[in-house]
């Protein structure tokens, strides 16, 4: 097969067949295709798209490009969850223990943060001693014993996606719905769960800025699940302001623990309950979303969700004392309050720019492999819609130096719009839920 013919076919808007897609994935995986030809095809796919059949073929090819995890030794219906990425999006740390605490096993591989969005693995690593690099056999043993494990993706999982994602990052080809769908679903399929809940973020702090593109991505991933015999639900949720109030690594761990202790209500809790309830629905543990949310709320009230979180930390080598003593978590030494310079109403937040501010503190990466300051970040004091007076605190910034706090403050001020009159409408928190039977 001549790969140039494949590039030209897609460039001219043609449909690639299974053999051509498999040839592409094999050449990416074994390194036989040069980067310039891979980039050319990626750009052709970005510009001309792929239909559902091509996307499914690419997804399955990538899913089996490396090791796949066999979860059959873990009893029950195993559930997983994936977020397309946002700011202060700490739902995994809340819902994984809550769902596991009602007997539905959660086996989850998570990623590191890159760009403005944070990663669960970085947050967990801010807990002293916590090991995210767990070997497959060990992970299965944890899941069998406690029904929960959250770990980093093993090296040999979906090597084709690793290579393609790195290439997309530097060739302007990240924002393609079929490529994003194949990237996410190949990893989820290879990780072996029976049911997957996808949190497709929509808004200024997400890949998908509008409902139409979020819906297209959600629909194709749900249908991909149907094709390969996995139960998939997609929740389209709002990312027009940070989901929680704490942004950073140890800071987000603290907020998750506060939610599990029952001390925090609001958007972060609501999205965690919605995603968690849909995981329980897929597992057949509850009959309705409302029943699922009530059951998970009960696990907050009776402390069993927090106990499951403690069990997960202990089994992965972390210091469980952090749950009762946040002083044991890192917190950067320099603290700066960012204050409003006018009276008015917060009408809008550019959430990606708030994520950018968090990168400036040292909590997020500017480039792959960059070490993080686990104790850095931002505590937001306001949400959109609220009134604000001159001199009132908008946010508190933590960093290792005054310079970093200053530059984070510049981004924060630019990100938050204060207007004379309140906005007439706020975007919804849960836009839509797409299920396979719908």
**153 near ligand URA, judged by CB under 6 A:** no
H helices present in 147-266, as ranges: 159-169, 177-190, 211-227, 250-260
Instruction: Pick the closer one to ligand URA by CB: 24 or 398.
Output: 24
**Cα–Cα distance measured from residue 281 to residue 438, given in angstroms and rounded to the nearest whole number:** 14
**Cα–Cα distance measured from residue 23 to residue 302, given in angstroms and rounded to the nearest whole number:** 54
Assess contact for 24 and 50: CB atoms under 8 A.
no
Measured from the CB of residue 237, what is the shortest distance to ligand URA in angstroms? 15
Which tokens sit at 132? 């995210």
- How many residues sit close enough to ligand URA to count as binding (CB under 6 A)? 7
**189 near ligand URA, judged by CB under 6 A:** no
| Choice from 55, 110, 183, 237 touching ligand URA (CB under 6 A) | 183
**84 near ligand URA, judged by CB under 6 A:** yes
**50 near ligand URA, judged by CB under 6 A:** no
Please tell me the chain's helix, strand, coil percentages from 3-state DSSP, rounded to the nearest 5: 45, 15, 35
Measured from the CB of residue 278, what is the shortest distance to ligand URA in angstroms? 19
Of 123-131, 177-185, 354-362, 411-419, the segment contacting ligand URA by CB under 6 A is: 177-185
- Tokens 């930390």 identify what position? 313
Q: Is 438 a catalytic residue?
A: no
Assess contact for 190 and 102: CB atoms under 8 A.
no
Q: DSSP letter string over 117-138?
A: B--HHHHHHTSTT------HHH
**114 near ligand URA, judged by CB under 6 A:** no
Measured from the CB of residue 209, what is the shortest distance to ligand URA in angstroms? 14
Assess contact for 226 and 187: CB atoms under 8 A.
no
**352 near ligand URA, judged by CB under 6 A:** no
Measured from the CB of residue 183, what is the shortest distance to ligand URA in angstroms? 3
Of 133-141, 149-157, 175-183, 311-319, the segment contacting ligand URA by CB under 6 A is: 175-183
Angle between helices 91-100 and 289-301 (to 10 degrees): 90
**Cα–Cα distance measured from residue 280 to residue 283, given in angstroms and rounded to the nearest whole number:** 5
| Choice from 180, 253, 295, 349 touching ligand URA (CB under 6 A) | 180
Instruction: Pick the closer one to ligand URA by CB: 182 or 271.
Output: 182
Q: Is 187 a catalytic residue?
A: yes
Measured from the CB of residue 179, what is the shortest distance to ligand URA in angstroms? 6
Instruction: Pick the closer one to ligand URA by CB: 199 or 240.
Output: 199
Of 179-187, 324-332, 409-417, 427-435, the segment contacting ligand URA by CB under 6 A is: 179-187
**Cα–Cα distance measured from residue 228 to residue 86, given in angstroms and rounded to the nearest whole number:** 27
Q: Is 168 a catalytic residue?
A: yes
Instruction: Pick the closer one to ligand URA by CB: 183 or 384.
Output: 183
**Cα–Cα distance measured from residue 257 to residue 348, given in angstroms and rounded to the nearest whole number:** 28
Measured from the CB of residue 48, what is the shortest distance to ligand URA in angstroms? 18
Of 42-50, 176-184, 362-370, 387-395, the segment contacting ligand URA by CB under 6 A is: 176-184
Of the candidates 78, 81, 82, 365, the residue annotated as catalytic is: 82
Beta-ladder partners of 247: 378
Of the candidates 187, 231, 310, 382, the residue annotated as catalytic is: 187
Measured from the CB of residue 383, what is the shortest distance to ligand URA in angstroms? 26
**110 near ligand URA, judged by CB under 6 A:** no
Distant-in-sequence, close-in-space partners of 328: CB < 8 Å, separation ≥ 6: 128, 319, 321, 322
Of the candidates 110, 152, 176, 183, the residue annotated as catalytic is: 183
Q: Is 216 a catalytic residue?
A: no
Q: Give the distance, in angstroms, between the CA of residue 410 and the centroid of all CA atoms in the same chain.
A: 26
Which tokens sit at 282? 């897929």
Residue in 264, 252, 257, 245 with CA at minimum distance from that of residue 331: 252
Q: Is 117 a catalytic residue?
A: no
Distant-in-sequence, close-in-space partners of 83: CB < 8 Å, separation ≥ 6: 89, 91, 92, 198, 199, 201
Q: Which residues bind ligand URA (CB under 6 A)?
A: 84-85, 165, 179-180, 183-184
- List, by residue number, the catalytic residues: 82, 161, 168, 183, 187
């Amino acid at each position: 097969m001549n790969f140039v013919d494949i590039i030209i076919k897609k460039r001219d808007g043609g449909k690639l067949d299974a053999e051509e897609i498999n040839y592409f994935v094999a050449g990416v995986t074994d390194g036989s295709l040069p980067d310039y030809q891979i980039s050319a095809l990626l750009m052709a796919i970005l510009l001309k798209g792929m239909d559902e059949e091509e996307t499914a073929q690419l997804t399955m090819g990538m899913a089996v490009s490396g090791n796949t995890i066999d979860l059959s030794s873990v009893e029950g219906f195993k559930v997983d969850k994936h977020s397309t990425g946002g700011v202060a999006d700490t739902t995994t740390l809340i819902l994984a223990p809550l769902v596991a605490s009602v007997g539905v096993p959660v086996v989850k591989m998570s990623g590191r943060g890159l760009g403005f969005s944070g990663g669960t693995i970085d947050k967990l690593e801010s807990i002293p001693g916590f090991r995210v690099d767990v070997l497959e056999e060990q992970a299965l043993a944890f899941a069998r014993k406690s029904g929960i494990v959250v770990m980093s993706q093993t090296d040999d999982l979906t090597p084709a996606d690793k290579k393609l994602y790195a290439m997309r990052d530097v060739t302007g080809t990240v924002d393609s719905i079929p490529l994003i769908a194949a990237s996410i679903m190949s990893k989820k399929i290879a990780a072996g769960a029976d049911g997957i809940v996808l949190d497709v973020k929509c808004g200024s702090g997400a890949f998908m800025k509008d409902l139409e593109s979020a819906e297209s991505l959600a629909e194709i991933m749900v249908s991909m699940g149907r094709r390969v015999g996995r139960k998939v639900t997609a929740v389209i949720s709002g990312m027009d302001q940070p989901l929680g109030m704490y942004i950073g690594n140890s800071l987000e761990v603290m907020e998750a623990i506060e939610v599990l202790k029952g001390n925090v209500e609001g958007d972060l809790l609501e999205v965690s309950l919605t995603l968690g309830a849909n995981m329980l629905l897929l597992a057949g543990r509850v009959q309705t979303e409302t029943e699922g949310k009530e059951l998970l709320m009960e696990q907050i009230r009776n402390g069993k969700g927090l106990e499951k979180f403690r069990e997960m930390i202990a089994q992965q080598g972390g210091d469980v004392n952090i749950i009762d003593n946040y002083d044991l978590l890192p917190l950067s030494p320099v603290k700066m309050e960012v204050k409003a310079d006018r009276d008015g109403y917060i009408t809008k937040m550019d959430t990606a720019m708030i994520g950018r501010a968090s990168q400036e503190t040292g909590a997020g990466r500017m480039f792959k492999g960059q070490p993080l300051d686990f104790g850095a970040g931002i505590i937001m004091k306001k949400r959109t819609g609220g009134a604000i007076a001159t001199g009132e605190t908008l946010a508190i910034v933590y960093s290792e130096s005054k310079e970093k706090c200053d530059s984070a403050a510049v981004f924060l001020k630019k990100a938050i719009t204060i207007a004379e009159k309140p906005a007439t409408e706020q975007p919804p928190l849960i836009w839509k839920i797409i299920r396979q039977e719908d």
